[in-house]
Amino acid sequence: MKSRQAPPGPFTIIMLALMFCVIAVMLAPSAHAAGRLAEELKQVTAADVFPGADSIGAVEGNPPAAAAYKGSELLGYIYLNADVVDSAGYSGKPINILVGIDTKGKIISAKLMEHHEPIVLIGIPAAKMTAFIHAYVGLNYSETPTRTSDNSPADIISGATVTTMVIGDSITRSARRIAQSRGLGNAKAAPAAGAPAVIRKLNPDVNAIEDWTTLLGDGSVRRLSLSVADVNTAFAQSSNIGAAAHPEPGPDSDTFVDLYVAPASVPSIGRSLLGADGYQRLKDRLKPGQQAIIVAGSGRYSFKGSGYVRGGIFDRIELVQGDNIVRFRDRNHQRLGALAAAGAPNFPEIALFTVPETNQLNIIEPWRLALLAQRGLGAREKAFHTFDLGYSLPAKYMVTEQPPAAPVTVAAVGAATVAAAAPKDNALWMRIWRGKIMQVAILSVALLALTAIFFFQDQLVQRPVLYKRLRLGFLLFTLFWIGWYAHAQLSVVNVLTFTGALRGDFHWEYFLMDPLVFMLWSSVAVAMLFWGRGAFCGWLCPFGALQELTNMLTKRLRIPQVPVPFGVHQRLWPIKYIIFLVLFGLSLYSLSLSEQAAEVEPFKTAMILDFVRTWPFVLYALVLLFAGLFIERFFCRYLCPLGAALAIPARIRMFDWLKRYRECGNPCQRCSNECPVQAIHPEGNINPNECIQCLHCQVLYHDDHLCPVMIQKRLKRERFAALSSGTVPPASAGKSAAARTPAG
């Protein structure tokens, strides 16, 4: 046996030269634009970004902002979110939004100026992004913000989750910092480092058990009551025009939701609502510093939501405290039948939620429960509106202490410096990872399984039935879970943005925003050292899986395939390399232009947007899939720029795992003829740039009824066994069997 690959040629030299050019370009210095507020203000008028203003002052202060005036009256300030906080999206480039905030700390306007987000450039209508950003207008960040518009930064725009979360996070944090720096409304500047601060904590001596009326009257239990009329009015005043056209049916006076919330981890409140035994059981399972809340509700709208039934996610409520957002899953939930407080109503829904250990809720500081109301606008469209139930712990449960001023020492200064430099546990990308922990676990298991498939491929391919079932199952998982459920389709855009980030201000946080995409890219990078591009192209690409599965169906229906002569095939597969080089060249000139040109990939249409898009994009994707019915993996073979980008370093992999016989290609052509992407040359060499590691040739390699070499070995074994047993088969039998064996 032998392991044979095509010898290095001009193509290899060109690819290596291109790699050196890429590295040189990536390491080249790039100018970093900072403090662009002045430039952005030149493109707009005062009234555009601050309604009622007629002039804008100079950019000044830290963080930078420009004052907005009406005559000589100060109305507020205008700032650029990217100048105040990190607003880089998945593209690695900042999402620039001009925000106007008045002297009370309320956002007056928000205008998207520039972005480079791939999913938004082509795919997400501009009106949706405008409506999402406009939803933050009216929020007051000089105090605990209260959202009053139809937005849900985590998932309001399907397919653009990371982008919308970055936008919401940057507007929230930047508005708070501007309000604190200018003393707007009730905002207070952060205390100076080393200054003694007043400490408030729970009073351990307050353990009284109160009745329902007392708890509700002193604010221990907070209430949000909404009628049908309240909800219809809120949707009518929102930025979503379609929401007003689909009002909630029924009498206006009907109760839409009557919601109550209270912190059960506060001893007196917990004992009152859970009873002494119930509170003790809760206390026993809570970790130090961990909190729990009780939510009770009635009315036609359930606060638990449909997500709880689907997969254990409560998609209609969340806790918000500053930058911290807490979402609950079924493992954080305990259903209660009734409340123990005397006089408490009988609620159809009562839930006890424990705050996950990964989230820190300071029960002393104000927080709020956000209720997401939703209504259907059509088969797929929904409108959302958030109602807030704010909570501040009554003063009777707290005690205040004034600590002595700590002496300033060298060690203390050093500790403060380290603390300032340490990454915050509440960074946006960390919150995203915590929110997708189950998806991360599932993908981790899948990647480990694929690694096992490759490392133990010799044992697997000797069991053809098991191999076929395992490969079919993995392709179905890749298509339905990675592609259509998780929307984790990799794209050449990821390559372009990564190289662009290396040339500029590189931060890992940009690429950690999407956990599944980051995990896939990391695994592909490692797999490149072992198996080339095949690990992704053959197993982890959802669109590739869709092509293979539809072609598989075509073959089962006995629809003839179109054979591509190898000479023609050789002249067609370089097209994808040309496409990639053009896209890469465009990215050096304009990243946004290259991202738009990357629509040559149908991935966004087929996987990210689920074919819900304008007809030219859908038609293009369907044409490629139609071609793939007759030429297996047509797009992968000839047009995929991502496959080309991954194939460039395929030659430098460390191992050759695919086995070949000396007879492969001369005379046997079976593997060459049956390779699904024609990666095997007629002379028997495997082209690593085209191989997708499907392992079909390895199944043939071990099959003693299909591979001529293995057939001859089997016949020799059978002849030897016959001689040993004294039963010698006729010579003609062996010859006839060999004659029936196909050579290609």
**pLDDT tens by residue, 222-261:** 999 999 998 888 887 765 666 677 788 888 889 999 999 9
How many CA within 13 A on the CB side of residue 484?
12
pLDDT score, position 460: 92
**Distances from the Cα of 444 to the Cα of 449, 451, 479, 512, 523, angstroms:** 9, 11, 16, 16, 10
Sorting pLDDT into bands at 50, 70 and 90, what band is 515?
confident
Sorting pLDDT into bands at 50, 70 and 90, what band is 29?
very low
Strands of the sheet with 222-227, listed across from one edge: 222-227, 255-263, 292-298, 349-354, 333-335
**Distances from the Cα of 685 to the Cα of 5, 6, 646, 744, angstroms:** 5, 5, 20, 15
pLDDT score, position 32: 37
Residue 733's SS3 state is helix
The residue type of 617 is F
Q: Is pLDDT at 205 greater than 60 in this prediction?
A: yes
| DSSP per residue, 95-156 | -EEEEEEETTSBEEEEEEEE---HHHHTTS-HHHHHHHHHTTTT-B-SSS----SS--TTTS
The average pLDDT across 704-730 equals 80
Convert the pLDDT of each residue in 573-613 to its tens digit.
Answer: 899 999 999 999 888 887 778 878 888 999 888 887 788 77
pLDDT score, position 419: 40
pLDDT score, position 510: 62
Sorting pLDDT into bands at 50, 70 and 90, what band is 734?
very low
Convert the pLDDT of each residue in 687-700 to its tens digit.
Answer: 888 889 999 888 98
Q: Which of 33-37, 271-275, 686-690, 710-714 has the highest mean pLDDT?
A: 271-275
Residues 6+ apart with CB under 8 A from 427: 509
Neighbours of 262 (CB within 10 A): 25
Least Cα distance to 188 among 180, 199, 197 occurs for 180
Q: Which of 462-471, 704-713, 716-725 has the highest mean pLDDT?
A: 462-471
| DSSP per residue, 439-481 | HHHHHHHHHHHHHHHHHTHHHHHTSHHHHHHHHHHHHHHIIII
Distance in angstroms between the alpha carbons of the first and the last residue of the chain: 18
**Distances from the Cα of 508 to the Cα of 23, 89, 406, 494, 678, angstroms:** 18, 12, 37, 13, 38
Strands of the sheet with 65-70, listed across from one edge: 55-60, 65-70, 73-80, 96-102, 107-114
* Four-residue CA torsion sign, 648, 654, 708, 474: negative
Distance, CA of 681 to CA of 27 (rounded, Å):
37
Residue 283's SS3 state is helix
Q: Provide the 8-state DSSP code for 186.
A: T
Q: Angle, to 10 degrees, between the axis of helix 428-435 and the axis of helix 437-455?
A: 70
Worst-scoring range by mean pLDDT, 242-246, 513-517, 549-553, 565-569? 242-246
Distance, CA of 542 to CA of 429 (rounded, Å):
25
Least Cα distance to 684 among 702, 661, 653 occurs for 661
Least Cα distance to 339 among 278, 280, 391 occurs for 278
Q: Is pLDDT at 568 greater than 80 in this prediction?
A: yes
Q: Residue 384: phi, psi to the nearest 5?
A: -125, 150
Q: Two tokens at 325?
A: 């957002």
For residue 261, give the H/E element and its range: strand 255-263
Worst-scoring range by mean pLDDT, 22-31, 91-100, 107-116, 374-383? 22-31
pLDDT score, position 103: 86
For the chain, what is the largest distance between any 2 Cα atoms, rounded to a whole number of angstroms?
115
Q: Is pLDDT at 306 greater than 80 in this prediction?
A: no
Least Cα distance to 77 among 101, 97, 104 occurs for 101
Residues 6+ apart with CB under 8 A from 116: 89, 91, 92, 93, 497, 591, 592, 595
Residue 87's SS3 state is coil
More confident residue, 99 or 500: 99
Residue length of the chain: 744
Convert the pLDDT of each residue in 472-482 to its tens digit.
Answer: 999 999 999 99
Q: Could you identify the residue written with the tokens 């653009």?
A: 160
Q: Is pLDDT at 548 greater than 70 in this prediction?
A: yes
Q: What percent of the chain has pLDDT over 90?
A: 25
Distance, CA of 63 to CA of 180 (rounded, Å):
10
More confident residue, 157 or 680: 680
| Whether the model pTM is above 0.75 | no
Count Cβ neighbours within 10 Å for each residue of 485-511 and write b for 16 or more, e otherwise: ebbbbbbbbbbbbbbbbbbbeeeeebb
Per the prediction, the chain carries an average pLDDT of 79
Q: Is pLDDT at 217 greater than 50 in this prediction?
A: yes
Distance, CA of 168 to CA of 146 (rounded, Å):
13
Q: Is pLDDT at 92 greater than 80 in this prediction?
A: no
